[in-house]
């Protein structure tokens, strides 16, 4: 099985999900999205596969969220996606991609549905 994880090594949940994947005997492709954020097209594909609006992927507790006024409901999906890509710390994590689907794995046990 091919597994890809959009991973942030500073995040406890992301590290836990990576461990669950490895404990299942799978070595995933790891994308350090903080260093290499997805392209606009990749982000659109991930959101579509997860059936999520861009706003649902925002980390609202980040200071960047408030400084960019992303709580303003008049911000368009395009503006939210642009903010996510310019400031990857705003992206909820981890996102896991397998043949079984794509999920934001919060809580970490959501990854089990994909393995």
pLDDT in tens, the chain (115 residues): 899 999 999 999 999 999 999 999 999 999 999 999 999 999 999 999 999 999 999 999 999 999 999 999 999 999 999 999 999 999 999 999 999 999 999 999 999 999 9
Count how many residues are written for the chain. 115
pTM value is 0.94
Which residue among the candidates 11, 34, 52, 85 is catalytic per the annotation?
Answer: 11
11 is a catalytic site residue = yes
* 1-33+93-115 CATH pick, 3.30.70.120, 3.40.50.720, 3.90.1150.150, 3.40.30.10: 3.40.30.10
Q: Is 86 exposed, middle or buried (0-12, 13-18, 19+ CB in 10 A)?
A: exposed
Alpha helices, DSSP H, located in the chain: 12-23, 40-50, 63-67, 77-86
Instruction: Determine phi and psi for 34, rounding to 5 degrees.
Output: -70, -35
Location of each CATH 3.40.30.10 domain in the chain: 1-33+93-115
DSSP state of 107: S
């Amino acid at each position: 099985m091919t597994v890809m994880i959009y991973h942030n090594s500073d995040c406890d949940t992301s590290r836990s999900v990576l461990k669950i994947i490895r404990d299942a005997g799978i070595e995933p492709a790891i994308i350090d999205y903080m260093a290499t954020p997805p392209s606009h097209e990749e982000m659109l594909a991930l959101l579509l596969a997860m059936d999520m609006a861009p706003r649902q992927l925002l980390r609202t507790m980040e200071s960047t969220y408030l400084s960019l006024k992303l709580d303003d409901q008049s911000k368009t999906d395009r503006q939210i996606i642009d903010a996510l890509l310019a400031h990857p710390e705003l992206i909820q994590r981890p996102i896991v991609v397998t043949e079984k689907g794509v999920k934001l794995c919060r809580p970490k046990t959501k990854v089990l549905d994909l393995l």
